[in-house]
Structure 1
């Protein structure tokens, strides 16, 4: 149990002293970039899924 406590204590110390945190404006900018690419990627997956669904329906109606 002491090993887990020591690990958590050292992890917090590492985050506090050795991590370089980005400035707030950079965090906001990168959050917008991630949100935009997530939306674009989800729309692309939706489009491919819709096309494949129509192709499969057409194939089975043809058979």
Structure 2
């Protein structure tokens, strides 16, 4: 998180698109698990992703 916030790497996604707010994250025990999950998320359409993240954002802010 700290490295993303600094945005020192000019080739990074966060620097390129001037992103500064994290709205969702998941923790994994291994990089392999994270890659599998990322592929699952990327395979969905925009509407499904929006509904999924909206649900989790509301859930997290109310707990």
Same fold (TM over 0.5): no
- Alignment TM-score, normalising by the size of structure 1: 0.30
Structure with greater Cα Rg: 1
- Alignment TM-score, normalising by the size of structure 2: 0.30
Greater relative contact order, per chain length (Cα 8 Å cut-off, separation 6+): 2
* Structure that is richer in helix per residue: 1
